[in-house]
Chains A and B, each alone.
Chain A
């Protein structure tokens, strides 16, 4: 079955950079896509993008293209979500997701990483 374990909560200031992580275990990391989902306080789920760690093929939602960077390090079975300059509006819970190779079906969720951006 496998699992996704995300890095811990972060408190940052506007303008700071940040990279959060999602480590896969118990499955072949190279044969699944890994994605990221945002949930702003009291709001719904928003699909941000996905990456195929085997070849780094990455697809972004138009809403998040250019705002964040999704990457992966196959050697340590870890995917990342990165910001170069955080805004207060980036305050949210971020979930990583595992997607089956063919259908892109989500079959596993990380526990979530809370990012709080405040001056």
Chain B
């Protein structure tokens, strides 16, 4: 089974930069595109990043995505943190049979 593992939580101060990792196991993270989704409390998720590093229309360039094949991981980096960035972030990809897989989610606290 293809599994994506994220840290449970991260915290950082406003204006700083934070990186959220997403490590794959049971398969190569580079074999399928990775997406990142943001979910604010009480709201439906929205898609921020697609195809590993492409920002959806309207997503600020403070958000960037990347993958590292050597560590079999993907990363979401948020620079110039704002209090409005406080949310849960999920990485997501597909297994070899094109069945979706979500990471467990990372709670970002901006304090």
Contact = CB atoms under 8 A, between A and B. Distances in A.
Interface of A: 35, 37, 44-47, 49-50, 59-62, 95, 103-107, 109-112
Interface stretch (B13-21, B22-30, B77-85, B91-99): B91-99
Contacts of A61: 99-100
B47 A106 contact: yes
Given A107-B47, A107-B56, A45 B37 contact: yes
22 contacts: A35-B100, A44-B90, A44-B104, A45-B37, A45-B90, A45-B92, A45-B105, A46-B102, A47-B99, A47-B102, A49-B99, A50-B100, A59-B98, A59-B99, A105-B33, A105-B51, A106-B35, A106-B92, A107-B47, A110-B44, A111-B44, A112-B44
A109 B44 CA distance: 7
Interface of A is mostly: strand
Contacts of B33: 103, 105
